[in-house]
Chain A
Amino acid sequence: MAALTEEQTLIRDQAKSWASEQSPVRRFRELRNAAVETAYWPESFAAMVEMGWTGILVPEAHGGSDLGYLTFGLILEELGRQLAASPLLASGLIGASALRLGGSDAQQASWFPRLVDGSAILTLAVDEGPHHAPARTALAASRDGAGFVLSGSKTFVLEGMAATDLVVAARTSGRPGDHAGITLFLVPTDAPGLARQRLITADSRGYAQIRFEQVAVGPDAVLGEIDGGFPLLDAILDCGRAGLGAEMLGTAGASFDLTLDYLKTRKQFGKVIGSFQALGHRAAGLFTRMELARSCAEAALQAIDGNADDRAELCSLSKAKVGDFLHEMSCELIQMHGGIGMTDEYDAGFYLKRARALEALYGNQAFHRERYARLLGY
């Protein structure tokens, strides 16, 4: 754990006790069983708003606390431990980052207060196929008078059913695959011509497929530069990736704790199974890789806070290394539990399913290794 300020320690402790008492895995199970379309409990998100979590990345002038990404990560880690579902990452981190990085004064003044009080839920609509590929954006935005008309589709939009508004990556020029020619737009989900459908996924969380048929937006909907939106999109995504790194660390950490606890209590051959060296050494290796993963996750968040030159590398490092550990840990969680881990009644399966969804989101390990190599110039 990074050296924390007193305020950060308080927030982490608050998040830990709130998540374990008010939003334990049992609440996620109830959500899954109830098949709630927006995939979160409104009262949970209301409590997060109440605790000020939606304002952590919002400047004080706009009603936030501006405590930064490492602080936000501490909360996401605790939520990840309990698989707590909410639009906090999508809106409070990614939506807020989009406005911090690309919003005009007028856009910030209009949006930030609504993000803070939870009346707006703003998420990013970027991918159009099964793999994360921001440069392959094809959804077309054509000029129409002073404004634009959007046509195309987006898929696996995080918290897309809960969102009131979207940051849409669209193509204003060039061809799919080109970095140039991408523009970001702020689009309300109730705009005429916009239709969304829930995607029911293994992790039982909120994703939507969204179709845009001649959706008209005004010139004030443009976020950042026309045609030059890719670097902004990449920077917003990096914030999301760093946030996901923290959430994944929490999910993996809880998986590790469940496994370690089982190793200390399950008896076979007259001994607790943790006394077998074959299992003890695997646990030791997992613990080692968890510590290494934590360093990557924290470094990425700190790099964004410090606006470090190497933040893009560190965000890819975090997504890839924490992703690798989460992948391995979620497999070992099932294997070391044996048959009980295969039952729906036990929570292990929830962690396994969530692990793969988190890995895939905004670039899996392969995507980020490729990006890391490019950033390092080979």
Chain B
Amino acid sequence: MSETAELNDFRAEVRSWLQTNFPSTLEGVSPAMEGDEHGAQAAELARWRERLAERGWGVPTWPKEYGGAGLDHAQARALAQEMGRVGAINPIPTLAGMGATMVGPTMLEYGTEDQKRRHLPGIAAGTVRWCLGLSEPNAGSDLASLSTRAEDRGDHFVINGQKIWTSGADISQWCGALVRTDPTAAKHKGISFVMLPMDQAGVETRPIRLISGASPFCETFFNDARADKADLLGELNDGWNVIKRLLQHERQSQTSAGGPGARTEALQDIARRYLGVDADGRLEDADLRSRLTRHLMNAAAHRLTAQRITAEAKGKVNVSAAASIMKNSATNVAQERAELMLELMGHQGLGWDGDAFSSEELGAVREWLWGKAISIYGGSYEVQNNIISKSILGLPETTQKD
């Protein structure tokens, strides 16, 4: 059977399964970051999640024995397209926090059999949420200068220090943390990656309110927190290699310039609505029209590049070295879009609260503000450019190593 025929059969299977199992009342509904399962729809959403998890389609490319479906990249894409077609949103990556996109894929490569069996099924089912303790107040772009310490106590580590920008730390059950296990070793050498439960006396979290009003991020304090040695991911003092891989997965997960399954109104339609058109059907504001075109072309170029990378991978699931390029491009597109959206809405795009503004307008201002974080988190725009110039272009080290 040809590859395409096989893929078509798979599509047909997905379609009929969705018809039976996806309630149309959940069209476009996704669980919020804060874990609010939409009140009345909570039960329905939970049932949908369970059905999806039974098929392994929450994390479709993972092996079956750990809760995935063992799909290749082309099948996973077909699955996502078919779900998008009926407005079905996969809630599992959101509910698992950093579990499905980053911790899980890294654990598949570096984890012990015991770790994979204990941790992956909960992530795959969307029932265990993970956060990541990476940045510290004095270790941002220079992540390797982190100072949170882990002392060896035989069968476990005792951890002391402070993490910052831990997304969803206040609602997560587990944390993957980068800690210093050998303070005498060179900067990048004495670091390990440990995993610890958040529900323990030694862990405290405080949400950070952002300029957009939301608080997805926390400060996380470790005061004699405990991590079992069985939950050391990778070798002791080899955490820098583990995190490099994990951050590649992070960049990969941040290369989409628009949310999957998000079926939003085209920007040019919104522009027509707010600005009006002349007798020739052109937007009234010629300057904005021209900049809108530049943006739409950038967005199209980004989308085509994502498709090209998939086609080149020929069905294999891989973390491309191009992730830094795609992260920066996605950042450009998302930030450009948010700025344009605000500009074409005019004063209406600057509303903060109240009946004078539509929910679309109130959403636009928050998306614009939140969007400023995209070029900072997951390795800033500048850090990505360092990676491109050094790792891809082979230019000499641009910063001094200490």
- The answer to the question of A34 belonging to the interface, with a C-beta cut-off of 8 Å to chain B, is no
Interface check A372, CB cutoff 8 A? yes
B2 contacts the other chain (CB 8 A) = no
Cβ of B90 under 8 Å from chain A: no
List the B side residues contacting A130 at CB < 8 Å.
none
Interface positions of B from 328 to 385, Cβ below 8 Å from A: 328-329, 382, 384-385
Indicate if A191 sits at the interface (CB-CB under 8 A): no
Q: Say yes or no for B65: interface residue by CB 8 A criterion.
A: no
* Partner among B305, B322, B395 whose Cβ is within 8 Å of the Cβ of A275: B395
Interface residues of A, dominant DSSP: helix
B389 — which chain A residues lie within 8 A by C-beta? 274, 280-281, 283-284
Give the chain A neighbours of B328 by CB distance below 8 A.
Answer: 288
Q: Please tell me if A377 contacts chain B, counting CB pairs below 8 Å.
A: yes
A292-B305, A317-B301 given; A277·B293 CB < 8 A: no
Query: A1 contacts which of B312, B388, B398 (Cβ < 8 Å)?
Result: B312
Stretch of B168-176, B230-238, B277-285 contacting A (4+ beta carbons < 8 Å) = B277-285
Residues from 304 to 324 in B contacting A, C-beta threshold 8 Å = 304-305, 307-308, 311-312, 314, 322
Q: Collect the chain A residues with CB atoms within 8 Å of residue B302's CB.
A: 292
**What number of A residues sit within 8 Å (CB to CB) of B?**
38
B289 interface residue per 8 A CB criterion: yes
In the assembled complex, which residues on chain A have CB atoms less than 8 Å from the CB atom of B395?
Answer: 260, 263-264, 274-275, 280, 283
B253 contacts A by Cβ under 8 Å: no
A295 on the interface (CB 8 Å rule)?
yes
Q: How far is the CA of A321 from the CA of B394 in the complex (A)?
A: 26
Which of B272, B282, B325, B392 counts the most chain A CB atoms within 10 A? B325
A288–B325 CB distance below 8 A: yes
A376 to B304, CA, bound (A): 17
Q: Which residue of A lies closest to B272 (CB)?
A: A378
A271's nearest neighbour on chain B, judged by CB, is B396
Bound CA span A284–B398, Å: 12
A276 touching B398, Cβ below 8 Å: yes
**Inter-subunit contact B385/A281 (CB<8 Å):** yes
The reply to whether A3 and B314 form a contact with Cβ atoms under 8 Å apart is yes
In chain B, what residue has the closest Cβ to A278?
A: B398
Q: What is the bound-complex CA distance between A298 and B301, given in angstroms?
A: 11
The 8 Å CB contact of A369, one of B293, B304, B394, is: B293
B74–chain A nearest beta-carbon distance, Å: 11
- Residue pair A287, B396 in contact (C-beta under 8 Å): no
Assess the B281–A2 pair: CB atoms within 8 A: no
| Contact of A285 with B by CB under 8 A | yes
Given contacts A317-B297, A378-B268, A378-B272, contact A280 B308 (CB under 8 A): no
B337 to chain A, nearest CB (A): 15
Question: Contact between B308 and A378 (Cβ–Cβ < 8 Å)?
Answer: no
Assuming the A-B contacts A281-B385, A378-B272, A378-B277, are A321 and B329 also in contact, with contact meaning beta carbons closer than 8 angstroms in the complex? no
Q: Are B297 and A320 in contact (CB under 8 A)?
A: yes
Q: How far is the CA of A296 from the CA of B398 in the complex (A)?
A: 31
* Chain A 161-209 residues near chain B, CB threshold 8 A: none
Known: A288-B329, A317-B300, A373-B292. 5 other contacts (CB 8 A): A264-B395, A294-B305, A294-B308, A373-B268, A378-B268
